[in-house]
Amino acid sequence: MVSLYLIGVFALVIIVTLYKGIKVVPQGEEWVIERLGKFYRTLTPGLNLIIPYIDGVRERMTTRDIILDVPQQEVITMDNAVILTNAIAFIRVTRPSDAVYGVEDFRMAIVNLVMTTLRSIIGEMKLDEALSNRDMIKARLKEQIIDDVADWGVTVKSVEIQDISPSPSMQKAMEQQAAAERERRAVVTKADGNKNAMILEAEGKLEAAKLEAQAQVALAQASAEAIARISESIQEKELPAMFLLGDRYIAALEKLSESQNGKFVVYPADVQQAVKGMLGSVFK
């Protein structure tokens, strides 16, 4: 009975010893091994043998790409504008021993490093530059953190800016500014239109005045020619002028009578005598 008990204990010790000594590492992982509390070596995927009870597994590290979500944060730009931004980082552990012993928690360390570096980069930019230069921010961010994370045995494959936008209060201020700018442009456009209209109207009046002056000159020349011809016909100095004046007077009265608002026609009492006098002078 005692012998059976000893055999069972011995078999159990053998099984535990084999379990502790034989390690099968799956693909995509590397295991950090310590010997008596000190880093010894790294196990690669496949079958590995270690010394039981002396060697132990400290950390199982993945060698696949790791996605780190950098939470959203408020950042103040150089022109004191508040924007909200977050990012996502793609990393890979290339030296598991450095990732274990170089930093307490490499994931948290990288997230905080990205947040502080992103704040520093955007803080050196103006609002318009920060909103329109994502690629430049991404390149500078990766360039500034790559050396630090390399000390932790991690390679940064890519850092992407997920979102970068003004804060709600800043968006409201920008909308008010845009509305004011649109109103200013509308006022300027209206003023330019009125200015152009006034210029065109003035040019039109000037052209009309020139044409009116030319018409008056032509009319005066025609009147002078008419007076000259009448004078030559009747050999009288005053009568031709009186005849033309009477003719224009009658034409003015006719025009006045054609007006829609005209209710009375002014007809001088001596028109008949004047006409009779002129006709009498003609037929003498």
Contact between 97 and 33 (Cβ < 8 Å): no
Rounded Cα distance between 43 and 60, Å, is 9
Burial-class residue 223 by CB neighbours within 10 Å (0-12, 13-18, 19+).
Answer: middle
- Over the chain (284 residues), what is each successive 10-residue block's mean pLDDT? 77 85 91 91 92 90 93 89 91 92 92 93 88 89 90 91 81 70 81 84 83 77 68 57 61 62 54 54 48
Give the predicted TM-score (pTM) of the model.
0.59
Domain 65-170, what architecture? Answer: 2-Layer Sandwich (3.30)
Sheet holding 29-35, edge to edge: 38-43, 29-35, 55-62
pLDDT of residue 283: 46
DSSP string, 235-260: --SHHHHHHHHHHHHHHHHHHHHHST
Residue 25 pLDDT = 92
Phi-psi category of residue 53: left, alpha or beta, with phi > 0 → left and psi -120 to 50 → alpha: left
- Find tokens 């590290």 and name the residue: 61
Q: Which residue from 40, 101, 105, 97 is spatially nearest to 68, judged by alpha carbons? A: 105
Do the beta carbons of residue 56 and residue 38 sit within 8 Å? no
Residue listed under structure tokens 């000259």: 228
For 268: left if phi > 0, alpha if psi spans -120 to 50, otherwise beta; the answer is beta
Extents of the domains making up the chain: 2-61, 65-170, 208-283
Helix (H, G, I), strand (E, B) or coil at 230: helix
Distances, alpha carbon 42 to alpha carbons 72, 92, 200, in Å: 36, 16, 88
pLDDT given at position 244: 59
Give the Cα separation of 13 and 169 in Å (integer): 69
The CB density around residue 55, as the number of other CB atoms within 10 Å, is 20
